Amino acid sequence: MEDTSFIIEGGERLSGEITLQGAKNSALPILAAAVLAEGKCVIHNCPDLSDVRTALEILGHLGCAAVRRGHTVEVDARRIANTSIPSRLMLKMRSSVIFLGALLGRTGEAEAAYPGGCELGPRPIDLHIGALRQMGAEISEEFGRITAKSGRARETCVNLSFPSVGATENIMLFAARARGRVTVINAAREPEIEDLGEFLNKMGARVSGAGSGVITIDGACRLTGCEHTVIPDRIAAATYMCAAAATKGKITIDRIRPAHLGSVTDIMRQSGCLISEGESTLSLTAPDAIRPVRLIRTMPYPGFPTDAQAVVMAYLLRARGVSVFTENIFENRYRHTGELEKLGADITINGRVCVVSGVPALTGAHMCALDLRGGAALAVAALSAQGRSEIHNICHIERGYERFDETLSGLGARITRKKI
């Protein structure tokens, strides 16, 4: 199979302005939600990424017309021809599991492959299945496939044992056409959940509390098409902030919601970065000497995001002292550390805890992207290393970053692609 690599000549200070892409993790559930509308949805600021293309393929397979024009995607779900998602598409992207709730809400049936384990360690969907069952779905799990059938979701109160983002989304999607009120206790509070709630409300559902720990959804008989603009991608923002900071550079990010990045800017400030925020812009100037950060604990929103752990780690590799990370969301989210060590990073892992002892300099190396955010972290580190690095398997990076290399080149990075 053909592999594409990024070649990075490190050591250039990044400087300049970028316009932030739309949020992948918002676009995906919103595209799934479009299945609920007996009409056409127009979704703006929809990033052009391989994961989003997979979602469009799923929509096409279900019989919806899904067309992209620039950053606007139109989904016409007047006709649903199919309620089963092929294993090939389920395996490409774990988050395709949220189509279950949307299909159940719209048609009362859904069938999909079990997404299985993945690069971040075991990613069970027991909370999704348990909640959908509690809402009235009959679900069987056999031979790696999930088959679900239901009438309209029934009135109930789902108490999540952990504020899972995907499970909260699946509940909201199924509940949007419930016969009565569904309440979610200990719901995920991520901005992407709030965005999904807004989208569902525009379609005619009555969602309140999205973005807080308790969400209520009063189902509607019928949902219609609507128009919506996806929120900006806070994790892509964190990545470009780290790239600029790691190279002792400066960046201004336009079309950002600074409030969504509170826990990240807090850590960046602790490390010495100067950050100023406008209503939809953020500027960061790196410190001359990076200060270590005593403890970075990943937590559900509004805590520090697990998706930003790897890129912030890549930035802190050259801090003057020891930084400590605790990963509380996923079991296997330190796989990038083995690759970062190839650049000369000093990292020790003990279970959930990762200790990064800053080194004065990194040296370019050959590395392999093993997952999306870990892959982006390799690029951040390579940009700050002396000499040439090569990052293989960049398909992982391109699942989440639109024109990653062009965006970095625009800031002065020396990055090119090479087909192998």
**Strand partners for 227:** 42
Tell me the CB-side half-sphere exposure of residue 190, using CA atoms within 13 A: 26
Rank residues 234 and 248 by Cβ distance to ligand UD1 and give the closer one.
234
Instruction: Kindly state whether residue 371 participates in binding ligand UD1, applying the rule CB under 6 A.
Output: no
Instruction: Kindly state whether residue 89 participates in binding ligand UD1, applying the rule CB under 6 A.
Output: no
Interface positions, 283-312, toward ligand UD1 (CB under 6 A): 306-307
Rank residues 135 and 329 by Cβ distance to ligand UD1 and give the closer one.
329
DSSP 8-state symbol, 260:
G
Q: Which stretch binds ligand UD1 (CB under 6 A): 70-78, 165-173, 254-262, 344-352?
A: 165-173
Closest CA to 29 of 75, 68, 88, 69: 75
Closest CA to 77 of 29, 30, 41, 28: 41
User: DSSP characters for 191-207?
Assistant: HHHHHHHHHHHHHT-EE
Instruction: Kindly state whether residue 340 participates in binding ligand UD1, applying the rule CB under 6 A.
Output: no
| Both tokens assigned to 38 | 């007996």
Q: How many residues bind ligand UD1 (CB under 6 A)?
A: 19
Identified binder of ligand UD1 from the candidate list 127, 182, 311, 340, rule CB under 6 A: 127
Report the C-alpha gap between 341 and 363 in whole angstroms.
Answer: 10
Site string for ligand UD1, 27-46 (x = CB under 6 A): -x------------------
In sign, the C-alpha dihedral spanning 383, 331, 394, 45 is negative
Instruction: Kindly state whether residue 76 participates in binding ligand UD1, applying the rule CB under 6 A.
Output: no
Q: Minimal distance in Å, beta carbon 398 to ligand UD1? A: 15
Instruction: Kindly state whether residue 54 participates in binding ligand UD1, applying the rule CB under 6 A.
Output: no
Instruction: Kindly state whether residue 405 participates in binding ligand UD1, applying the rule CB under 6 A.
Output: no
Rank residues 39 and 302 by Cβ distance to ligand UD1 and give the closer one.
302
Q: How far is CA 239 from CA 53, 88, 218, 350, 380, in A?
A: 22, 30, 37, 25, 8
Instruction: Kindly state whether residue 343 participates in binding ligand UD1, applying the rule CB under 6 A.
Output: no
Q: Minimal distance in Å, beta carbon 307 to ligand UD1? A: 5
Q: What positions carry a catalytic annotation?
A: 118
Residue 53's CB is within 10 A of a number of other CB atoms, namely 15
Which residues bind to ligand UD1, rule: CB under 6 A?
25, 28, 95, 123-128, 162, 164-167, 188, 306-307, 329-330
